[in-house]
Structure 1
């Protein structure tokens, strides 16, 4: 039984196989060698624009394969909710970057695993329509990649011919360089590139003669470095010879009706009409430059030119921008009818009232809704669960203790909230209070929780602008108590004692606003009785009485 971790992976878009990328000079970067056990390994393509969804930790992560226009290497983008990894050089970096943004931890996931390269059904779908898989040849420490093959009868080419392409990477003049080896119509070519700059170019009649002039890797002959003599390459060349034992012609012979009829008759016996036309075009030297997926469209673009890359790029840009409108393949009505009747048959079988029972409108509407959201006959998508964690008791106590500090808030002398709690005025902006809270409780609640908890407190707010007060209210309601607070701050240095005194001053302020009116005694002539302790006591004595509880 496999010990590998299993993931829920869905192939959202199959993507396309690009001839320039998957069979060009950078083909080594677009194929991944995946080992399923100790003996079996397959090359799996990173298909351009392929997209998979991986379900991790109750969230859906969508990973898409893109092309780095500068390096022509695959790059990966991972999106989850509103978090985006951006273009990353590997699938592992993309998934781990987005996962870290969502959950804030450093959990690591394998890029191959989340891309579905360990899922046999996904792998089978990715390689189902691949006609040729590049051949990776290990020659000591050198990796030779044969990305294209062609056949000929030349003995010095060992059966290889026009269209053959292979690459290897090794040092040239002390720099790790890319060697591009190809077989043309009647000669061989070797180009050496370093960081996109051509360092060397040579053409000769055989691979052996080309490599003799370079002066490196002398212990190998040219055909070995081209990869031609490899046993698996020779096997593929033999298969290609058997399958291509057909009559061919060039564009110069297109007016030869008899020759064209022979080619058409020979191909129509092996394939359907469309396949025959494709074979005829290939035989005449044309190249298919259709860059979008052929699964959904019936239009193909073929060209006969020495260099097809400019036309291929222009076609891809037109299709991507929406300026090129192609005809979509129409689904088969017979298949749709069969699907409909099968669905109806299943509905009748599951109907509790039997074959004569009626299907309610709610059932029909639910079926329509399911078909629109998930597709006819498809299972329901896994909805991410929203998990809300309750604030721990310790963090709640830290929040309450913080806002009992009189250097943080100032208590109102008369205002209360709807719950009867006294209004507390913040002494600073919320962001600055958060910084103080974080310094005081570094392991406490996070900033988002702090701001949310503060917003839900009806008794903690900014001080209202009350405008100008009359002289009496200003002197007896505020100036006096501000002086008391100033004396207390200058007298007590210990925070616990200072907070205790400030709370008593707040209590006295509230008493003067509410309770003191009940203690006033009014004589018959309308005057209040004189209280010398209250009316003429210096502030220092008032503070002493507060300290001693008088």
Structure 2
């Protein structure tokens, strides 16, 4: 600006109107004279043109905007570039993950290591053991076409047993992954397995629990009977069959406990029985105590429940023998 100077000593600016008009039209009365560049405006205009010229997405507008997204506030970027707040947010996120203006970082390819044929054989042999599962005779998995398998224990307990049998086998995560799907089922209503277990087992115990809650007013006594009922249910479902001895060839032998002697159940045992299982005896004691704490009018109903449970007990015995 040293080539252009304006000097005046006049106290009345109207005298210099023509001179001031000339200076205004020449651009000297603006913050940035016409012959001088406004680098800030040029920067924002160029950046706006770059955004308009590129496509949307992570390899277009988002990547370009990420160059300056972390250096300016939302308000400035929205004012200068006329863009939405969401676009700025995605650009800031892009800059933090990939770097300002950098190429998108490629995600590592996840390689799944398949189990070996030996490990698969170990897994299959474990779940073909009838000590761990009950195999459905008619229900199949729609995806694999294999018979549905009902687990006798939780997956955690089965994993502990599997690890003991095959310490060098598949790992825990792979074990659980193999159990995913609808082929291996735990605690499904046994109505899906057979109507006898559902009707005489699960439904009967539920009816007994409801009877206890409705007819016994003493809360403490109610809890005691409910716990005893749950214990009997768990015992008959899981623990009872462990007392029954049947070889892999379907051969059974004499048991000193009359409640566990399959030969006696089939009318083939002539050897005296000198022992009575305390757990099985609790079944009869439970119903007797229930009768003693309820009125005479409920004895017939309780006796019917007892007969159902005994039928369920006989069914469990027969099923254990046939599945051996």
Q: Which has the higher contact order (CA 8 A, sep 6+)?
A: 2
Structure (1 or 2) with the greater strand fraction: 1
What's the TM-score, normalizing by structure 1? 0.22
Structure (1 or 2) with the greater helix fraction: 2
